[in-house]
Amino acid sequence: MDLKLADFSHENIGQLNTYVSWYRKNMMMEGDNPPVGILLCTGKDHALVEYALAGMDNHLFVSKYLLAMPKKEEMQHFLEEQIRPGV
């Protein structure tokens, strides 16, 4: 995961892709799931993200983050919703 204190730029995703590719080549073992790259920025332009990711076969994700953390209960609820089977 990479946290940027700025709006998204195509350089950010290139850097993250480098990290994910290095991990895949140097750290993965047989049977491992492919690595996932997560880039969190203070802002994102959906069109720019779409074009910056075009053609990349990695599992790369870009999202905007909040400057204040949500409450513990909100985070727990979100995580439970995300890992619930069949969702």
Domain extents for the chain?
2-83
Distance CA 7, CA 24 (A): 27
Kindly provide the b/e burial profile for residues 18-53, where b requires at least 16 CB atoms within 10 angstroms of the residue's own CB.
ebbeeeeeeeeeeeeeebebebbbeebeeeebeebe
Q: Could you give the strand order of the β-sheet that contains 59-64, starting from the edge strand earlier in sequence?
A: 2-3, 36-41, 59-64
pTM to 2 decimals?
Answer: 0.62
Q: Measured on CA atoms in the order 8, 19, 68, 83, is the torsion positive or negative?
A: positive
pLDDT tens by residue, 51-84 = 777 777 668 888 887 777 778 888 888 888 888 8
* pLDDT exceeds 70 at position 29: yes
